[in-house]
Structure 1
Amino acid sequence: MGEDGESTKINHSFLRDYVTEADVISTVEFNQTGDLLATGDKGGRVVIFQRETESKGESEELGESGEYNVYSTFQSHEPDFDYLKSLEIEEKINKIRWLPQQNAAHFLLSTNDKTIKLWKVSERDKRPEGYNLKDEEGRIKDISTVTSLRVPVLKPTDLMVEVRPRRVFANGHTYHVNSISVNSDGETYLSADDLRINMWHLDITDRSFNIVDIKPANMEDLTEVITAAEFHPQHCHLFVYSSSKGTLRLCDMRESALCDRHSKIFEEPEDPGNRSFFSEIISSVSDVKFSHSGRYLLTRDYLTVKVWDLHMEKGPVETYQVHEYLRSRLCSLYENDCIFDKFECVWNSTDSYQIVP
């Protein structure tokens, strides 16, 4: 017991001495199979973890999730500066989204406040040998010394994980990007900031299409901002976005190119008896997720998690209280700005559970 207690102290000391603000994880995302887990941190790094094969087999028998080990680490974003607005752009990773896997390689999108990047993650366990115009060190040979031709061959080598940037989608947002979502068509994705939602094609980096714009002519008339947006998992023409007022708007791109007019709006009537100074702050939806079936929506605000049925707009079908004990401490949380923290939510693979921080 004494040794265990001492080791715990050492671990805590290590964290205090070596873990910096840049190491704090800002977002996490599983790929579609659950075998890879990508995390982004405030330092602009992405760390990918892979579920171990042996642990995977054992965990399936035991009903557990298995053990994840580091698969690859790379620097996704660097700090930047907007000279037109004299603003620093943080390298912090806001969101990560995996693309559906089409071949042996994996692709993921990562974004900070302004720039979205597409990355290719691939494995290489063979290397070519026997070049005609290069020597073993990779230097170009003198052509006059080449007297015969040979066919290069692939020889086994140690497994290497390569991460390469494939696309950079920049200059699409005036305000900070808060969410990205890959469409079910596998060709497009959306990105949202406080006032606009843009749709991008994965092969086109120099332009995007604005599909939602809630910016008023006079900014003094602004009453709400966009907090999150997501495509429907099956229907490529449907998407939903949430607002700081706690409302959800379902939009259909078949109705018009600019979806300022929603198809459905989901909101829960407020009880006047429970209204307080903090009501609007804690009712702001920080995350919204479609269920895998596409029938339900999961939302997260400061104190609750709600499940909405797409066929019933008048209110959620289920409400779960999260950290209810904080309700009596909202004044203190407001003073130290913790009341403005944003939380995410996610469905499990069978839509039977919801996972929240």
Structure 2
Amino acid sequence: MLKMRLQEGNGGETTWCFSQVKGTLEDDVTEADLISCVEFNHDGELLATGDKGGRVVIFQRDPASKQCVPKKGEYNVYSTFQSHEPEFDYLKSLEIEEKINKIRWLKQKNQAHFLLSTNDKTIKLWKVSERDKRVTGYNTREEGGRPRDPSRVTQLRVPTVRPADLMVEASPRRIFANAHTYHINSISLNSDQETYLSADDLRINLWHLEITDQSFNIVDIKPANMEELTEVITAAEFHPTECNLFVYSSSKGTIRLCDMRAAALCDRHAKLFEEPEDPQARSFFSEIISSISDVKLSNSGRYMMSRDYLGLKVWDFRMETKPVETYPVHEYLRSKLCSLYENDCIFDKFECCWSGDDHRLMTGSYNGFFRIFERSGGGGRRNELTLEASREAAARPRQPLRARRVATTAKRKKDEISVDCLDFIKKILHTAWHPHESIIAVAATNNLFIFQDKY
């Protein structure tokens, strides 16, 4: 395991360093350019981002960066395409944004790559393939593609295949629509690579990748009377190895494990993971900050991680009563909940991710900060880092990132930043970890920062 070596006594420097930044570092940023999701594929060779403008940008690992010593986590633009367009639901008089909510890669089976992307209502399956040859010598059309006049065809020609400049084509292969009344917040591929689930606020549907006109409703928490609604679904994910298991989280801070072998409709969960609430700590904001914004299962399938507003929790599938690990992400904001409620920041949905070896966790915060936690085995000391995705980091490539600290008391040390000085516009909501190496991708507004461990 690659340890995050904290060098005590020299400013908290770490082996993490800046590798690349994608996107302009200008202050004038349009809403459509804001990155809304980040996802590595299964071998880490490709990295996809979606934005609020409905675009998907795919980056490919630079072959030279893998062969140099030490290795570098450098990516180049591979393909860019418009995945979703804005729509209007005339029956409900509702605008449907083109914003990409989630991207999920399918495991590669041939030369082409496949990925699922979704906005609030429609899921699309895209095929991304390379073409480095072209066919010439058509009989029925000109080289430019125009049809030829049949009267001018005086002899038959045998078409020939010739080398051409490499072209990367993205084409939609399936469109899965009209199955969700509410906004889609999650899609997750099953380990069988044939089915996937999609979740909105009240329902979870099961799809087959080859069938677009029907899906199976496997969870429905919509009450007969909507006034009795007490919670909504916030995230859902399949188990990484057991194709019959999936979990979904709710706005009440609970996670339910469901087994599709038990019943066709999984309204009755197999396990319920919930931490008892401390009555003395209850406040007006308790229910809001306990809502789970993201849930991710570990690569081994034994643990799962949930992110609420103030922190991370790691759960063992064999213990439902309480999390086995708790990591405060920005506990210092507890005294600021009133102002965060007024500016709607308290409703921000932070994502989280596992490292490839399940030993580290990552999630975002405010002020361009993101947190990395190193899990300890056997109750030992756990290392935790606060790093920043900033222009300052981009100006110092291959230099160790400076660990950041937020002052939790009125007395602020020299290298700490006051809670009152945090920029709540610069929020890190979306992060991704390379499946095999210590390379991380962090979305900061319209920029994609890539950091790596300095081997």
Q: TM-score, normalised by structure 1?
A: 0.92
The 10-residue stretch of structure 1 (192-201 or 272-281) with the greater mean CA deviation from structure 2: 272-281
State the distance in 2 between where 1:129 and 1:236 align: 47
Partner residue of 1:356? 363
Partner of residue 235 from structure 1, selected from 236, 242, 247: 242
1:41 aligns with 2:51: yes
Structure-2 residue corresponding to 1:126: 133
Letter matched to residue 263 of structure 1: A
1:62 to 62, 65, 70: 70
SS at match of 1:136: coil
TM-score (norm 2): 0.73
List runs of 5+ in structure 2 lacking aligned partners. 1-23, 365-455
Letter of the aligned partner of 2:355 in structure 1? N
Q: Out of 159, 163, 187, which is 1:156 matched to?
A: 163
Higher relative contact order (Cα pairs below 8 Å, separated by 6+ residues):
2
Do residues 141 (structure 1) and 131 (structure 2) align? no
Separation in 2, partners of 1:153, 1:186 = 37
> Which residue does the alignment assign to 1:30?
40
Q: CA deviation at 1:14?
A: 6.7
**What is the 5 A alignment of 1:256-295?**
256-295=263-302
**Residue 62 of structure 1 aligns to a residue in which SS?**
coil
**Once the two structures are aligned, what percentage of the paired residues are identical?**
76
Deviation of the 1:146 alpha carbon: 4.0
User: 1:29 offset after TM fit, Å?
Assistant: 0.8
168 and 142 in structure 1: CA distance in 2 versus 1, 3 angstrom threshold: same
Whichever residue aligns with residue 35 of structure 2, its letter is I
Moved more, 248-257 or 153-162: 153-162
Task: State the 1:303 CA deviation.
Answer: 0.8
Q: Distance in 2 between matches of 1:206 and 1:95?
A: 21
SS at match of 2:117: strand
Report the CA distance between 1:144 and its aligned residue: 4.8
Match of 1:176 among 165, 168, 183: 183
Structure 2: distance between partners of 1:279 and 1:14: 37
Aligned length: 342
CA distance in 2 between partners of 1:121 and 1:213 (Å): 34
CA distance, structure 2, for counterparts of residue 140 and residue 87 of structure 1 = 43
3-state SS in 2 of match to 1:281: helix
Cα distance in 1, alignment partners of residues 34 and 103 from structure 2: 15
Q: What are the Cα deviations for residues 147-199 of structure 1, in whole angstroms up to 9, with x where unaligned?
A: 54443222111111101111111111000100000111111110000000001
Distance between the aligned counterparts of 1:144 and 1:87, measured in 2? 53
More helix by share: 1
SS of the residue corresponding to residue 339 of structure 2 reads: helix
2:346 corresponds in structure 1 to 339
- Could you list the runs of 5+ residues in structure 1 that have no partner in the other structure? 1-12
1:219 equivalent in structure 2: 226
1:62, CA displacement in angstroms?
2.8
Instruction: Report the residue type matching 1:297 in the other structure.
Output: M
For residues 71 and 332 of structure 2, what CA distance do their matches in structure 1 show?
A: 32
- Is residue 244 of structure 1 aligned with residue 251 of structure 2? yes
Q: 1:187 aligns with which of 181, 194, 200?
A: 194
Partner of 1:109: 116
Distance 2:52 2:145 in 1: 38
Please list the CA deviations of residues 128-161 of structure 1 after superposition, one character each: whole Å capped at 9, or x if unmatched: 1222333322233344544544432221111111
For 1:270 and 1:211, the matched residues in 2 are separated by: 29
Moved over 6 A (4+): none
Q: Secondary structure at the match of 1:251?
A: strand
**One-letter code of the match for 1:24?**
L
Q: What are the superposed Cα offsets for residues 89-147 of structure 1, whole Å, 9 maximum, x if unpaired?
A: 11111111111111111111111111111111111111112223333222333445445
| Secondary structure at the counterpart of residue 325 of structure 1 | helix
Is residue 92 of structure 1 aligned with residue 103 of structure 2? Answer: no
Match of 2:173 in 1: 166
Deviation of 1:351 after TM superposition, in Å, equals: 1.2
Distance 2:323 2:305 in 1: 9
In the alignment, is the contact (CA less than 8 A) between 2:65 and 2:71 conserved in 1? no
User: Contact 2:100–2:118 at 8 Å: present in 1 too?
Assistant: yes
1:20 to 20, 30, 36: 30
For the residues of structure 2 that align with 1:20 and 1:146, how far apart are their CA atoms? 53
